[in-house]
Structure formats: structure tokens, C-alpha cells
Amino acid sequence: MSLDATPADLRIDPNASTLVLHGSWRLPDLGALIGRLERDTPRLAGATVQVDASALSALDTAGALLLVRLLRPLGPDLEVHTYTRMRPADLALLRLVWTRLGVQVPAREHETTLRELLARMGGAVAEFGVMARQFFGFIGLTLATLAGVLVGRRKLRLTSVVFHMEQVGLDAVPIVSLLTFLVGAVVAFVGATALRDFGAEIFTVELVSISFLREFGVLLTAILLAGRSGSAFTAQIGSMKSREELDAIQALGLDQIELLVIPRLLALLAMLPLLTFLAMVSGIVGGALVGITALDITPGMFISRLQEMTDIRHFWIGMIKAPLFALLIATVGCLEGFKVEGSAESVGRHTTSSVVQSIFLVIVFDALFAMFFMELDL
Amino acid sequence: MSASSPPEVVIEVRGLRTRYGKQVVHHGVDLDVYRGEVLGVIGGSGAGKSVLLRAILGLKEPEGGSIRMFGTDTTHLDAEARKPFERRFGLLFQDGALFSSLTVIENVLVPLIEYHRLPAAFAHELALLKIRLAGLPAEAAHKYPSQLSGGMRKRAGLARALALDPELLFLDEPTSGLDPIGAAQFDELIRTLADALGLTVFLVTHDLDSLYNLCDRVAVLADGRMVVADRVEVVERNPHPWIRECFQGPRARGARDAVAAHAPA
């Protein structure tokens, strides 16, 4: 095959029965000719034509396809035409392309838009129902297995629990304390600016302490762990699923829930309250620091006001939410991991979905708690 | 390939040395690939078959030696200077390496649209032609890779490798993971395409059936060197211990007998 790169050309004699092919009919040299034929398709006369390939220097599948597109309107048989001075290899290629394109190009199916819209809406609603069912089913399965572990019918994987406690809890200490410290400082600063107009700067202490004990401590920790650990659970279990490790666990007669979910759940149940406590302390310290440096509230004043004015029930109201959030994050994270199918792309999609769902659930449940405690006048 | 004129050398590897850390893979590999032939490269696991492929493609920088493609030294070319060569070869990865977010036809269209300005209808039909040439039904064109079987994914990967009408086709273990029937069909497909499109095929394989049915020449990589590169009948008589073990084993006998049974008397 020569590498002569003369652009492809096509000449048709006046009575439209001879096609003269010129130059290299290879994809890189075909561009101009394809464009020209696209704009101005030549009309070929008669049922048979003569193809003169004496000036054809090279032919590839793209060139053959172009020729096929010219000859196709004349009839279903390629052999009725005559080919002069075409190399046998080129003719064989032309025949191959001709036979392989016997099938018509299938169009992609498109439903009418309104129908499609309704179908998608219905599909989404149905899927939501399935997801809710799966979620409650999974929580039930997990709690049943946990009960089995508690009464000693199932094995507790202590090493695994401790490993996850380190990953979920200890490794998250720096980021949780830093973030809540900063938020505490910001709350104190914003609150003080508003309260100063009423000469009530000292109420900053209650603002920071109550908001952190009741809400921010546990909420910020839960959101951070949803992003940090919930996603990790999904990615770990999901990649095990895509490498068929979960099937291997099943085939070895082991229990997936007992082996993978319970240690993660227990680790989160233990560590989320501890981190919440850390977040409360760190947020209040952040607020106190702003009070001391910017608002003339001495550390002594801050502590005594904290003791006198902030009831201990705020602390318990915050703390009681931590285990529930831990349960939500762990179950959503693990369940999404089990939903992974096949590819790495699916792992990524479910990890995103796991984070979004668990943050959503955490905030919804926090709001429900707030209403509940308000009704109880706590 | 005509017997009279000396065949043109498309890839010329001389004294290639590669290593990963302290692990030396090639001690000096010499290899010629002639235009229009199907060359099968075999060797034990870890013998450096895939590394040789990666070195030729420029994905692995060699320690020493030289690689010439189409007569030009490509050993130390940078990515930009390598581009014109890359359009002249197609590569089929082990599992097709299709883009999973695109349908089969969109996968094939990627290189076509990237390198050539073509009218949409023509590009579409050209992509469909490649899919049909790779032996897939037209209905597969709009499917996603995850909806295809392993064998069909390989064919779709082959269609994409053929998109730019390469002169050289690199195949990395194309029949691994296929059932014997699927593997035999794939071998036959490669043979047909190599003949019809005038392809030069560089095939890395484990499959003895492929060597007997498909390859014009077989190159054996062992001990970090190219032990022999010749027709399979010559290679199987080579006294090298690995070759003897490989070609005297029960699997080789089966493959050879199958070829003998089909050969015209």
C-alpha cells in the first residue's frame, strides 16, 4: 500500500455511466470529497455503471463505504457493475463492505415526550417505594442480626469493630474538633453582634452553649461522618460486591450482615456519641474564645454563666440523637454498598447517593426531634 | 505478502531492555514485524509480553535499545510527536476497555469525530460498518457495554480499534476469558479482517489454538529475550526448555491435531 496522500476525487463522465476514482480514498484524504458529495449527490443514470479505478492509489473502509453509498441506489447487486483496473484486494474490500451493510441502520427508539414524562414520573415514584421497603427491610435484618450477636447466637467480630472504631472515630477527631471550634466561634461572633444592640452580649454564652448542646454538636458530627464514613462504607462494600467478594462470603457459608454491617454499625454507634461530646466541648470553647478576645467576657464569667443558666437537659437532648443518627448513617452507607452492580462507575454513583441520603435523613430526623421536644416543652 | 520481494518491516525492535524497579523484564529483545503478517507473541506468565506491547506503544519507557515504527525511531518520542503514529495503529485491550457511559456506536464514533470532520450521516454509517465488520449485529450498536457479554464487548472494542482504519492492530490476549467456540470465532474474525483490510496484527496471547489457527509467525519470549520468531512448525521444534514444555504438553497436541484434521490433505 503506497502512502500517496493525494486527496480523493471523483469524476463522472457526461452521460453519467462511468465513475472515475482519483487519488487516495483513505479516511484522512476523503474529507473534502465526502463534503462535496453530501451537498451535491450525483445522479447516476442507468442500472449499471463502470467504475474506473486506474487512478485510484489507495482504498480503505471509509473510501469503500463512500463508493457503496454511491452505488447503493442503483440496486441490490454489486456485481452488475463493471470495475476496470481495480486491484483484487480493493475489490474484495468493496464486496466486504457491501455485504456487511445489507442491514438498514436501526434508529434509536424514542417514545413520545408526554408519555415518556409520565412513565419516568411513575418510575421514580415506584422506585421510591422500593427504596423505602429495602431500607426498612435492611434495618430489620441488621437489628435482628444485632440481637443475635447480643444473645450470643451470632459471633461478634471484635477485631473488625475496633478497626472500624479507629477509622470512624479516632481518625475523625481532628476534623470534627476543628470544624466545630470554628462554627462555635462564628455563632458567638454573629450572635454577639446582634445582641449588642440590646446590651445583652452576655447572652452569647447561652446562645453558643444551648445551640451546641442541643443541635450543632450532634448535627455537625453526623453530617461530617455521613460524608466521611458513610461514603467509605459504601465504597468498601460496593467494591467488594463488584469483585464478587460478597458472593464468596455467601459461598463460604458466612453471613454478610454479621461480617460487614454489624462491626461498622457498632463502631459508629460507639463513636458518634463520643465525637458528639467532643464537638460540643470544642464548639463551646470556640465561642468562649470569641467571648474572651472580642466581647470582654472573662473565662470565669463564661463558666459560671454556663453552669447557672444552661440546663443539663440540653446536653441529653443532643446526646440522645447521636445513636439514631449513627444507625441511619451506617445502614444507608452499607445498604448502598450492597446495591452496587458490576462496574466501578456504579460504586461511584452509589457512594454519592449514600452521602446525599444519609445527610438528608439526618436533617429530617433532627427536625422531627426538634418538633417533638418543643411539644414536650423540653 | 509476496514471496519474491523482501517484506517491509513495520516494527523493528533492537536490543530492548526494560525493567520495573530492580526487576529486569527484558535483557535485550530483538523483533521484526513484517507488513501484512499476523505475529503471535507467547511466553510464560511474567515473561514480559504485555510489557513489550506497552514499550512498543510508548506506554512504558525502555531502559535501552531502540524501537522503530514505519522506519522512524519512536523510542524516545514525546506524546505530541507520537500522535501521527498512534492514528496508524489500533489497540484492543483485554476486556475491550470501552467507555462505559457511551453506547457501542458512540464508542466507535469517538476517534472518528476526534480526528476527522465528517458529516453526521456518513460518520454514523462508517461506525456501523465497523461494528458489523467486528461481527456484531446492528442491534448491538445502541447498547451500553454493561449490556453486552464478554465476547461482544471484545468485538465492540475491536470495532473501536478499527475505527481509523489502522495499518497495525495490537491485540492483548484477545481470546482470554472467551469460551472455546467464542475464541475460535474471534480468531477467524481476526484472520478475515487481517486479509480483507491488509492489517498487520501484533497479537499477545496464551492461547495455543490461536497460534496454530491464526498466526503467520510465532515469537517466543523467555528469559527476557526473544528466543525464536518463526513459523509455528519451526518454533515447535526449538530445543529451548520452555518451548519444549509448552509445545509438547497435552494442550498443544490437541491444538495441533485440530489443525491437522481441518487441513486439506
In tens, the pLDDT along A243-255 reads 889 889 888 888 8
Which residues from chain B sit within 8 angstroms of residue A100, using beta carbons?
129, 132-133
In angstroms, the Cα distances linking A319 to A84, A169, A215, B263 are 90, 16, 9, 81
Cβ contacts of A62 on chain B, cutoff 8 Å: 126, 165
Positive or negative, the CA dihedral B57, B58, B61, B63 is: positive
Q: How far is B65 from chain A (nearest CA, A)?
A: 28
Give the residue from chain B lying closest to A107, CA to CA.
Answer: B142
Indicate the domain borders of chain B.
Answer: 95-165
Q: Are B83 and B31 in contact (CB under 8 A)?
A: no
Q: What pLDDT score was predicted for residue A44? A: 74
Q: What is the mean pLDDT of residues A203-229?
A: 93
Which residues on chain B are in Cβ contact (under 8 Å) with A93?
Answer: 196-197
Please give the model's pTM, rounded to 2 decimal places. Answer: 0.69
Question: Span A171-175, mean pLDDT?
Answer: 95
Q: How many CB atoms lie within 10 A of CB A279?
A: 28
Q: Which residue has the cell 426538634?
A: A370
Q: Which residues of B touch A (CB under 8 A)?
A: 87, 100-101, 116-119, 121-122, 124-126, 128-130, 132-133, 137-139, 141-142, 146, 162, 164-165, 167, 196-198
At CA A24, angle to CA A20 and CA A26, rounded to 5? 115
Instruction: Count how many pairs of residues, chain A against chain B, have C-beta atoms within 8 Å.
Output: 68
Residues with Cβ within 8 Å of A150's Cβ and at least 6 positions away in sequence, in order, are none
Instruction: Identify all chain B residues contacting A69, using CB atoms and an 8 Å cutoff.
Output: 122, 125
Using a CB-CB distance cutoff of 8 angstroms, which residues of chain A are in contact with residue B133?
A: 61, 96, 100
Tell if the CB–CB gap between A105 and B116 is shorter than 8 Å. Answer: no
Q: Which residues contact A324 (CB under 8 A, 6 or more apart)?
A: A365
Which residues of chain B lie closer than 8 angstroms to A61, CB-CB? 126, 129-130, 133, 162, 165, 197
- Provide the 10 A C-beta neighbour count for residue B88: 15
Residue of B nearest to A93 (CA): B196
Question: How far apart, in whole angstroms, are the C-alpha atoms of residue A184 and residue A346?
Answer: 38
Q: Which domains does chain A have, with CATH numbers?
A: 9-100 (3.30.750.24), 137-375 (no CATH)
Q: Does the distance separating the beta carbons of B196 and A101 come in below 8 Å? A: no
Q: Which of B98, B134, B9 is nearest to A343 (CA)?
A: B98
pLDDT tens track, chain B, 265 positions: 444 566 788 889 898 888 888 888 888 888 889 988 999 998 888 788 888 888 888 888 888 888 888 888 888 887 788 877 877 888 888 777 888 888 999 999 988 888 888 888 888 889 999 898 888 888 888 988 888 888 888 889 989 988 888 888 998 888 887 888 888 888 888 888 888 888 899 999 888 888 888 888 999 888 888 888 888 888 888 888 888 888 877 777 777 777 777 655 4
* Cβ count within 10 A of residue A378: 12
The mean pLDDT of chain A is: 88
Provide the pLDDT for residue A220.
96
